[in-house]
Structure 1
Amino acid sequence: MSNTTPRVHDLNLYRQYFDLVAAGTKTIEVRVKYPRLADLAAGDTIRFRIKGTDETCHVNIQRVTEYADFEAMLDGEGSGNVNPTATRDEQLANIRKIYPPEKEALGVLAIRMRLSG
């Protein structure tokens, strides 16, 4: 029997992505595999916040999948699930503006999520 209790993780999001999550149209969140994110697991909750505000949105993690790089992640998850308002190439460029190559080299996490009801 497992003793794991679902946890709540606090993560910041840019407004444009926060709005997509809050609307339920962004179902995959992309992060690099920082040590503090290595224990994200299905059943946990993420409390997204727009940095510097009190605005939050809660999602339940359905699964976490690790990829070698952003291209493999977009191919595996479907770019429309990551950002339904941008093309695959636009998304790749935007993600790499946030995470430079040395961060991408840590590994890429695709977090499948669903709005908390």
Structure 2
Amino acid sequence: MKKLLGSVLLSVVILSGCGNSIHKNISEEMATDTEQILEIFDDNIKEERSLNEREQKIFESYSTKYGAHYKTEGDLTEEETRLYILTNNLIDMYDHLTTLTSDKENYENQKSIIKKVIKEGEI
């Protein structure tokens, strides 16, 4: 019972923190998955390390999952399409955006654009 209550409480906290900042035409699932990608970038830049196997699989899963929806007309909203393209481009440019210190500023700019799309649906 305690585990169930703890899980429910954690879900409420997470959803209340994200719920108000997600555009109405972007699913919470996609927003959460995108935030996970950004967290991996942030952690790896901070720790100055490469992707581990699990993180690489997360990137691949994101690209595969939302890429399939992107290729099927009407599966993603306009805002979700925008978010997918920006995030997938970020994933594709991982090495470039995390190698040089000067490139990390470009990552921060891309990250702020992605966060704006999640919140407002627009760039």
When the two structures are superposed, what TM-score results if normalisation uses the length of structure 1? 0.31
More strand by share: 1
Q: Which has the larger radius of gyration?
A: 2
More helix by share: 2
When the two structures are superposed, what TM-score results if normalisation uses the length of structure 2? 0.30
Q: Specify which structure has the bigger relative contact order, considering alpha-carbon pairs within 8 angstroms and separated by 6 or more residues.
A: 1
